[in-house]
Amino acid sequence: MAARGEPAAIGPVVAAGNGLRHQHLAIAGMAAALAVAPLVLYPVFLMKVLCFALFACAFNLLIGYVGLLSFGHAAFFGTAAYAAGHAAKVWGFPPELAVLFATACSALLGLVFGWLAIRRQGIYFAMITLALAQMLYFFYLQAPFTGGEDGIQAIPRGRLLGVLDLSHDLVMYWVVLAVFLAGFLLIYRTIHSPFGQVLKAIRENEPRAVSLGYEVDRYKLLAFVLSAALSGLAGGTKAIVFRLASLTDVHWTMSGEVVLMALVGGLGTVFGPIVGAAVIVSLQNYLAGLGHWVTIVQGLIFVACVLAFRRGIVGELGRLLGKPL
């Protein structure tokens, strides 16, 4: 029988009910705030936040709504970064095609990894995803097209659709914002779709979902591929923004970071991963002077989350307001 419960122990805030109007308002508010954000904040910093926010949202689709803890999501993020970098720099793809190509690569990789990992549950699933991601890391370390320790540098940002010059940070920012919102809305729709309803049922009680005639592995696999593709969208965009794809993007610490972001913000919440990504990226930026101490600060935050507020920032906030956020 299925091993249940690890994610349930972390517990999403009540996902039931049809009162989603407050969420729609919050999404509109967030989009508006992000649109004017570069007036106040440094656009490059904001773009980093948005790329990681999309990555964390994609990861959260799996852990928060299917109950699958992947510990190898860096593979999808990093593969897409290399794919976008290579396509843009070596093949001369325009940015939109480079990112689409990167997304497709990650989706394909997700299909393979997912197909292999979904046969196992709980911790075994997490370990298999980690192992596969590590294998890929060592492959990228040796492969000629990744540039090894140097990575792919000076990736051209190019012109979007041959028109918009992305070398201006502000223009690049609007494009990243559009990509982020598109990805976020797709995830939001997925959660609130007939498919999402089945995912929630599987998360709540897998054997029962099976007994109702659902081939749960197929649903998990589709969710896994979606999550991988959207992680790829984030990774590919990141490579174009920072003009860099490197081993950091595929390293297991990247997989760990995305777990941390989702956890700090709130697993199984709509906005949690975004807040989590903003917190973690801010910490990395503003505490950069501390050097390796940043990792220790992150570790402490992780411990605090697990011990004191398991629902994460947004999860706790949602509980206080009595509304799922």
Partner 1 sequence: MAGDGTILETEGLSKEFRGFLAVRDVALRVRRGTIHALIGPNGAGKTTCFNLLTKFLQPTAGRILFEGRDITGLRPAEVAKLGIVRSFQISAVFGHLTALENVRVALQRQRGESFDFWRSEKLLERWNGRARELLDAVGIGAVADVPAAELPYGRKRALELATTIALEPRLMLLDEPTAGMGREDVGRITALIREVAKGRTVLMVEHNLSVVADLCDTITVLVRGEILAEGDYGRIAADPRVREAYIGSEEGRA
Q: Considering only residues 26, 97, 111, 201, which one is a binding residue for partner 1 as defined by CB under 8 A? A: 201
Q: Which of residues 89-128 bind partner 1 (CB under 8 A)?
A: none
Which residues make Cβ contacts (< 8 Å) with residue 85, sequence separation at least 6? 98, 151, 152, 155, 239, 244, 245
Q: How far is the CB of 10 from partner 1 (least distance, A)?
A: 13
Q: How far is the CB of 17 from partner 1 (least distance, A)?
A: 7
**Residue 96 and residue 49: Cα distance in Å, rounded?**
20
Closer to partner 1 at the Cβ: 85 or 268?
A: 268
Q: Considering only residues 77, 101, 173, 219, which one is a binding residue for partner 1 as defined by CB under 8 A? A: 219
Interface segment toward partner 1; rule CB under 8 A; list 10-18, 30-38, 146-154, 155-163? 10-18
Contact flag: residue 190 with partner 1 (CB under 8 A): yes
Contact flag: residue 3 with partner 1 (CB under 8 A): no
From residue 152, alpha-carbon distances to 28, 79, 140 in Å are: 36, 12, 11
In contact, 56 and 267? CB cutoff 8 Å: no
Interface segment toward partner 1; rule CB under 8 A; list 29-37, 155-163, 200-208, 229-237? 200-208
Contact flag: residue 318 with partner 1 (CB under 8 A): no
Contact flag: residue 300 with partner 1 (CB under 8 A): no
Q: Alpha carbon 64 to chain centroid distance? A: 12
Contact flag: residue 222 with partner 1 (CB under 8 A): yes
Count of residues touching partner 1 (by CB under 8 A)? 34
Contact flag: residue 215 with partner 1 (CB under 8 A): yes
In contact, 262 and 272? CB cutoff 8 Å: yes
**Using CB under 8 A as the criterion, which residues of the chain lie in contact with partner 1 when the complex forms?**
1, 12, 14-17, 186, 189-190, 192-198, 200-201, 204-205, 207-216, 218-219, 222, 226
